[in-house]
Structure 1
């Protein structure tokens, strides 16, 4: 009998990343069906694009396969993946993602990994579920329900009544992990999702109390900033443009954009500062229009690259770009993407 394969599954901290990881752990470790048709020992780990290099410290065995889930690609990540194959004994790498930066760099990524499955039209969970359907693989009922809940959340669609409880649990898990960034908690949640038996939730009152405190503080900060900035919004076509560079830096900019869009009842483009040599323009618009506007800005040379999602795109722009330049480019982009 041959020795079991060794597989590393690494996923993002958010709901999409956690549920995607749980699905791959279940189909590989419990079923031995996907991605490898093999009995396997599976290790799991949360990944962060900013701290990707630290994953090299975790590679203590020569993995037959490393799978990366819901991780927006950057050239820095590409360098780490190359090192994994060249110097850390990782035989194959599989990359499954839906972020715009991954789609934009598909050709580069194909030259590094062995299997790339990328689609910006749905969350990573949706991509995996489609792959499992092609292979005739089913999840246990609870895990499948969580996967469907994430698909509803990502699409911004109304969650059916029968999934509302799961929706609240999924949001709670995602907020907890975003707030505390605890690897042990991430692993507990993955294990809880993998197990088909009705175990208690791995979020005790101490954790939830800390989460509530952090989330409430952040929500207050975002709400206060959004109310102040909403009064400075400039109408550009059906959009609203806000220069928030003097009041907000990059962290939490997507939450700020969403809050502003809710207050103004319109798509928004907000300009925020960073501590690097560029600013960020965060575009919030439904039905994939944020991505289409971002693509136009990229084609016109205003944007340097695209990240985020189809409905919430993030582009790098010059640090000292003038508002009139952004507004004129946005006006054209909105016209041509209508």
Structure 2
């Protein structure tokens, strides 16, 4: 087994910036996770695609694996068990709610585990700071951008720069172009003062306003009329509607209207009820976690500013509202 590292990270900007920091630390500084400069292999993945990359990981014959920004799931569990059987030293850093809930299980499967309510890129940044690793100004700018996008933290960053980073993130998520994904990580982790980004694919369509944005806003305004106020939170029962837009897009549009946390109640294709919570702070995270702990939710996903909670079939919606009211009271 060679003393090299493989980084498996999500496609989005949080995963990319997290991976770039590990590459910089290992290949440029030679400090983490191994002492001395070693090669870092890069593999993009999601929770669902982890089973399909195991053979590639095992064929690399590495000594260390770093898993970044991938929400814990059954597929992740089986993947980590296989990694453990190969005696590969494993590091798992993530910020998703499921990783927080199953932290004890994860700790039994990996050698190092870091979980928090802030974006993964910022968790890695804190790790770099603790190791006294000084990052480049370019990498720091993208860390702050990822933190703003994923965590809702408003920093004094150029608005056009934020729009560009969002566009890059969406481009990678839609195209799933592995070559471009790795090129961006290599560019971010480079200590050389390069100016142009390594992109030759069109990201303009993600910067320009979407054609259906006006329709989405109209739809959100119609839903807003149904909003029920629970302290500073707006609760909207939209189970009888069949929206043409992604639930996260609807919740975000509603958040822009109210400028306060939004809870959207919907039914999925199997006619199961679930709620989407959008907030600027960790309210979405807290509500999902508490509903799960109370046994009202049977599954949750998402992160601190956007969460999805699948409700029990027999749950009463008024009971859900009362629990949410108590959660908000406790938070206040």
- TM-score, normalised on structure 2? 0.88
Which residue of the partner structure matches residue 297 of structure 2? Answer: 303
For 1:144-201, what per-residue CA distance to the aligned partner results, in whole angstroms no more than 9, with x for missing partners?
Answer: 222233234444233315x445423322211211232222221121122122331522
Match of 1:158 among 148, 154, 157: 154
SS of match in other structure, 1:170: helix
What are the ranges of 5 or more consecutive residues in structure 2 without an aligned counterpart?
none
List per-residue Cα deviations over 1:186-242 (Å, max 9, x = no partner): 1121122122331522233x52256468x7256456434423322332233332222
Give 2:124's aligned residue. Answer: 128
| Closer/same/farther in 2, CA of residues 203 and 40 from structure 1, 3 Å limit | same
Separation in 2 of the partners of 1:82 and 1:254?
32
Partner of 2:181: 186
**Equivalent pair of 2:288/2:309 in contact (CA under 8 Å):** yes
Contact 1:250 1:280 in 2 (8 A): no
In 2, the alpha carbon distance for the partners of 1:225 and 1:140 equals 43
Q: TM-score, normalised by structure 1?
A: 0.86
Q: Following the alignment from structure 1 to structure 2, what is the Cα–Cα distance between the partners of residues 140 and 38? A: 19
2:241 counterpart (222, 236, 247): 247
User: How far apart are residue 66 of structure 1 and its match?
Assistant: 0.9
Kept in 2: contact 1:305–1:316 (CA 8 A): yes
Asked if 1:283 is matched to 2:283, the reply is no
How far apart, CA to CA, are the structure 2 residues paired with 1:250 and 1:52?
30
In the alignment of these two chains, the number of paired residues is 330
Distance in 1 between the 2:215 and 2:173 partners? 16
CA distance in 1 between partners of 2:331 and 2:15 (Å):
30
Q: 1:267 to 1:211 in 2, by over 3 A?
A: closer
When residues 199 and 207 of structure 1 are mapped into structure 2, their CA distance, relative to the original with a 3 A threshold, is same
Q: Distance in 2 between matches of 1:36 and 1:231?
A: 56
Partner of 1:26: 24
Label 1:248 to 1:84 Cα distance change in 2 as closer, same or farther (>3 A). farther
Q: Is 1:49–1:77's contact at 8 Å kept on the other side of the alignment?
A: yes
Task: Give the equivalent residue in structure 1 for 2:142.
Answer: 146
The answer for the alignment partner of 2:3 in structure 1 is 5
Q: Is the 8 A contact 2:149 2:166 kept in 1?
A: no
Show the counterpart of 1:107.
104
Alpha-carbon contact 1:4-1:41 (below 8 Å) kept = no
Shift of 1:275: 4.0
Q: Which moved more, 1:30-39 or 1:288-297?
A: 288-297
